Structure 1
Amino acid sequence: MSISRGPRALKDEIVEKRVHDARDRFIASISEAQVLRLASSHHGGDECSFFQERARGSYNICYFVQFRATGDRWVVRIPLRPCLGTSVRDKVESEVNAMILVASRTNIPVPKIHVHVTSDDPSPLSTFIILEYIGGEKLSYTRMRQLTAIEKEVLYSSLADIYIQLRRLEFPSIGRLVHRHGDFHVGLKTSSIDFNMQQLEGLGTSSIQDGFLGHQGTLASANKYVDMLLDITYNAFLRCRSSVVERGMGGQDLYHQHIFRNHVRERWIDTTLDQGPFVLAHGDLEPFNLIVDDSMAVISVLDWEWSRVVPVQFFNPPWWLCGLSTTRLASKAVYDGYLATFLHDFLQVVRAREQQRFGNERLADEWHKSRDGGGFLISNALENWTDIDWVASGYVARSLSPGQGHLSARVAAYLKQDLLRAFVADVKERDGLAYCDELNRLVQETESEEQALAPVEELTTSKWIFTSLFTRLPWSTRAIPWPTRAISVTGLSKAAVIFAATSLLIWRLMPDSLFRPRI
């Protein structure tokens, strides 16, 4: 079983350490005096001061200022450039566009934008958003466990109002919003927390995505969107050094990728929805981005930076109502329990609010249909690749016919069907072992010497990939054992394994090659 470190934690802890070090240096370079002067310059030169401590999120740092003359409270929100693998300008512009559109076409509560500035200048204060400050309490799992029946009803009604209104913001294609010719359009390719993480790890997500885009840089097919995500997730599994970190698990993890793909294509995707609807999703609508009042009504929805237009099959209900992670929900028994309790209760509220507001039950009906077959688990895993192994083992594998045998037998049969599979499994295990060794060295160096990652950085990226793979091939002069497990499992000749190894090496160094491994 692969390890999931959560949606905001990089899979590669070595890269994460480097990113966090750069983030901390970036924050240290921000002058609080300059933040105050910046806020003052957009408030008629009025004097201001901080009224609470700054707050650092995963992708932004916020400073809270109050103007003495008027009492106005603002939030100066600065993107953390080292934590972003995509364009900072595009991130801010798409977020601002989503917030303005939502504020103008719905009554979903969002903070008012006072000022926003974007620039390609790397200095910290060159790009920022200044928002109104919203008082209240951030929703938390602890608070949700303490809800009274009345508070639960209020919260569910507020959430339902948010979702049913977003569902009715439809567009002709998939991606992020731009503002052109006096209106909002999809004009940027899609992005997400998962895409951002993969870009930071150097997995080449953007180049795969570009191959699916039309001449205008957008995507207008839900089926192609699913194909794109399947390619991106499999690419991430192959290229991430830490996707397999347990000896003997490479074949099983590769098999899980295989049955997940089959489940998506044969049982999950609704091909009749290829041309839409495509609807606006928040992209990160979790408790920490919701401000509630004392009655538990949502009074503000924060952080629209990952908002995007998605196929309706990816417009999911709040899985977090049950207080469990998506990896816990990946168990068929747990997921079925979520459907029968938390989602059942929420759907009743959604249905009533839709009927009252729109005279139909469109979203409630769509969610009721999509829930079967692990529907919400599948769409979430497609957009969060580290969940795939959990969903495949906890849900998909349990839905297979009992006549297909035990897992070990199915894995063995799967590996025998293609000469490259066993070799890929072996390489992934060796990748994981090398990664763990490097991570352990980093931890020891950090603890004993308290120094930066300079020695580790020399072993990462293309140099590390080439060296680590080249030394595994049979013509290497380094004493690395042959992938004997690949030979013994499949009965392959050394010549066949040499061909498989060469194909994998070509793909790892040139991802667009025709020699891409198949599962």
Structure 2
Amino acid sequence: MTTLPLLRGNKVSLDDALADDDNILHRLDYPQKQEEFWSHLISLKADIEASVAFHLRARHCQVADEADWMFGSYNVCIPICINPPSENHVLVRIPLPYKVGEENKPGNVDEKLRCEAATYIWMRENCPSVPIPSLHGFAFPDGKTFVEPSCVSLFSRFCWQIGRVVRSWLGFPTSCPYVGLQRRGALSTGYMIIGYIKSGRMLSDTWAVHLQDMARRKTLFKDLASIILSLNRTQLPRIGSLTINNDGIISLTNRPLTLRLQTFENEGIPAIPDGSTYESVEPYLLDLLQCHDNRIYHQPNAIHDVKDGQEQLAALTMMRGLLHQFISRQYRHGPFVMTLTDLHPSNIFVDDGWHITSLIDLEWACAFPVELQTPPYWLTGRPIDDIEHGEPLETFEKVVMEFIETLNEQEKRSQGSNVSHAQIMRKCWDRGSFWYFQALHSPKGLLRVFNEHIQSRFCEEHCTQSIFDRTVSPYWCIDAERLIQKKVEEEEGYKDGLRKRFGSYSGSSVAS
């Protein structure tokens, strides 16, 4: 059977590609784009070494062998040895333009870097107890570079410090604790230089093995609870993401940048516009639903057949209609708290006892409504759309209650807020808000989560009656039936494209 390569050594057959809900035709381009970007980075080795040496005032820096480069979903981390043969290493972290939508929406790489750098700095200043890698410096694609004060002359450092003091006296926001300068020959990719994590390993390495170990799980939950409470001590004025401008000023003025937004844009699907922040909950949630609508309009294989189209449009229509059932007027205008929206086992480093030693990948952190700060969906190792009624749901609920109780215990010890986040989390679970919010943030999982956990709360009979979908789907838009038919025809064209793609590779060296 002919298969074609995807990223990370994965392969896909034609049958699997045709059945997949993702735009596989788009993803088949990734390996070639990764190879091209890899070659581009190799050509920049000397520039990368020079940039790190500049930031760390090192005599010499050496890029690690390409085999040691770490390609993640949205970034590549390149290990750099400082003054070899020493054991001192840092990582140069560079966004992958072909994964964050740079081609379709120029500026996404810059946006991602600015949000991540701002989050690192904000967390270091406001949540010093949360373990994150050290940030040695960063630069944006326009060449604006930020270095630690020790990297510049005494005179430059003095002028920079005076400027910060004067801004503070005048009541203006002070600049970040890094000195900004325009550096010639700066990497056009943009980058961050972060410390190497020397203790612990990814939680995902041992998650499946020790998931049922109550002692380890309790330790992990306590540390996660402490991190959440530390983040929540600082209430923020609106929903959005932190960003940093070229003057080094950090502000909450960026749209709430979750990985879903740039993933949508990477596939040509419009998402939340730049600069959109929200001072109340409903407009943000409605804009998220608009992103799901845009997926229907713009993804070529969004609808597989008429029945699938009716189900999806009915679910999206009801998600809008039921919004008020799952949010509280009490928290409509806050509190808004910093939330790590991409906190999963591969972004958490732990020791052998599952104490958290470091968190990584902070670029998708957002100021979120407190009700959207839910227990992690991965607590039992299942995807969000695979937690079905019966044993899977019963097991998940048991672990969720365990997590919330741990948060409650830690909250009582800290006594740092008038708002009980554990109580809010429990109420959201009881009224089903957990599932509503998870559906909103899961383009592939929304329909399954809606059918399994939301629709059944109101009328279980409708979950299996196609007449419900036929009746409700026309209210998604005017002439919905015609739209569904158009999308079914569009998918046929998409499938023809897949067949041609596989046919052109049949028997070639990349097929198997």
Which band: TM-score by shorter chain?
A: 0.7 to 0.9
2:32: which partner in 1?
A: 21
Does the Cα contact within 8 Å between 2:241 and 2:365 map onto a contact in 1?
yes
Distance verdict in 2 for CA 1:443–1:89, change over 3 Å: same
Does the Cα contact within 8 Å between 1:26 and 1:124 map onto a contact in 2?
no
1:277: which partner in 2?
A: 335
Question: Does residue 91 of structure 2 align to residue 75 of structure 1?
Answer: yes
Question: Quick one: which of 53, 56, 74 aligns to 1:40?
Answer: 53
Spell out the pairing of 1:149-160 with structure 2 (5 A cutoff).
149-160=214-225
Equivalent residue of 2:41, what SS? coil
Does the Cα contact within 8 Å between 1:260 and 1:388 map onto a contact in 2?
no
Does the Cα contact within 8 Å between 2:256 and 2:366 map onto a contact in 1?
yes
Relative to total residues, which structure has the larger helix share, 1 or 2? 1
Partner amino acid for 1:118?
F
2:133: which partner in 1?
A: 111
Does the Cα contact within 8 Å between 1:317 and 1:367 map onto a contact in 2?
yes
Does the Cα contact within 8 Å between 1:23 and 1:81 map onto a contact in 2?
no
Deviation, 1:419, is 6.9
Question: Quick one: which of 437, 440, 448 aligns to 1:390?
Answer: 448
1:56: which partner in 2?
A: 71
Question: Quick one: which of 269, 272, 280 aligns to 1:203?
Answer: 269
Equivalent residue of 1:303, what SS? coil
Does the Cα contact within 8 Å between 2:456 and 2:463 map onto a contact in 1?
no
Does the Cα contact within 8 Å between 1:138 and 1:292 map onto a contact in 2?
yes
Does the Cα contact within 8 Å between 2:238 and 2:367 map onto a contact in 1?
yes
Equivalent residue of 2:362, what SS? coil
Spell out the pairing of 1:188-337 with structure 2 (5 A cutoff).
188-206=254-272, 209=273, 217-246=276-305, 248-263=307-322, 265-329=323-387, 331-333=388-390, 336-337=393-394
Deviation, 1:439, is 1.7
Distance in 2 between the 1:220 and 1:98 partners? 20
Question: Does residue 191 of structure 2 align to residue 128 of structure 1?
Answer: yes
Partner amino acid for 2:257?
S
2:414: which partner in 1?
A: 357
Question: Does residue 404 of structure 2 align to residue 347 of structure 1?
Answer: yes
Equivalent residue of 1:320, what SS? coil
Partner amino acid for 1:313?
E
Distance in 2 between the 1:359 and 1:369 partners? 20
2:118: which partner in 1?
A: 97
Distance verdict in 2 for CA 1:48–1:243, change over 3 Å: same
Does the Cα contact within 8 Å between 2:341 and 2:364 map onto a contact in 1?
yes
Distance verdict in 2 for CA 1:403–1:44, change over 3 Å: closer
Partner amino acid for 2:207?
R
Unaligned runs of 5+ in 1: 452-519
Deviation, 1:56, is 0.3
Distance verdict in 2 for CA 1:419–1:275, change over 3 Å: closer
Distance verdict in 2 for CA 1:444–1:358, change over 3 Å: farther
Deviation, 1:447, is 3.9
Q: What is the aligned length?
A: 436
2:210: which partner in 1?
A: 146
Deviation, 1:432, is 2.1
String of CA shifts for 1:145-194, please: whole Å, max 9, x gaps: 32533222221111111112222232111111135798743111222111
Distance verdict in 2 for CA 1:336–1:73, change over 3 Å: same
2:155: which partner in 1?
A: none
Spell out the pairing of 1:356-505 with structure 2 (5 A cutoff).
356-358=413-415, 362-402=420-460, 406-414=464-472, 420-448=479-507
Deviation, 1:125, is 5.4
Distance verdict in 2 for CA 1:23–1:310, change over 3 Å: same
Unaligned runs of 5+ in 2: 1-15, 102-106, 144-184
2:6: which partner in 1?
A: none
Does the Cα contact within 8 Å between 1:94 and 1:177 map onto a contact in 2?
yes
Distance verdict in 2 for CA 1:76–1:413, change over 3 Å: closer
Deviation, 1:120, is 3.4
Distance in 1 between the 2:100 and 2:248 partners? 29
Does the Cα contact within 8 Å between 2:236 and 2:337 map onto a contact in 1?
yes
Does the Cα contact within 8 Å between 1:10 and 1:197 map onto a contact in 2?
no
Does the Cα contact within 8 Å between 2:327 and 2:433 map onto a contact in 1?
no
- TM-score, normalised with respect to structure 1: 0.76
String of CA shifts for 1:15-55, please: whole Å, max 9, x gaps: 22234422321112112444334323333343344388111
Does the Cα contact within 8 Å between 1:259 and 1:392 map onto a contact in 2?
no
Does the Cα contact within 8 Å between 2:348 and 2:360 map onto a contact in 1?
yes
- TM-score, normalised with respect to structure 2: 0.77
Equivalent residue of 1:384, what SS? coil
Equivalent residue of 1:195, what SS? helix
Does the Cα contact within 8 Å between 1:62 and 1:75 map onto a contact in 2?
yes
Equivalent residue of 1:436, what SS? helix
Deviation, 1:227, is 1.7
Equivalent residue of 1:140, what SS? helix
Does the Cα contact within 8 Å between 2:117 and 2:243 map onto a contact in 1?
no
2:230: which partner in 1?
A: 165
Distance verdict in 2 for CA 1:433–1:373, change over 3 Å: farther
Does the Cα contact within 8 Å between 2:241 and 2:254 map onto a contact in 1?
yes
Q: What is the RMSD of the two structures over their aligned residues, measured on CA atoms?
A: 3.0
Distance verdict in 2 for CA 1:33–1:300, change over 3 Å: same
Deviation, 1:195, is 0.8
Identity %: 21
Distance in 2 between the 1:405 and 1:391 partners? 11
String of CA shifts for 1:209-231, please: whole Å, max 9, x gaps: 36xx6xxx532121111121122
Distance in 1 between the 2:306 and 2:315 partners? 16
Partner amino acid for 1:435?
Y
Deviation, 1:428, is 2.4
Distance in 2 between the 1:300 and 1:58 partners? 19
Partner amino acid for 1:156?
F
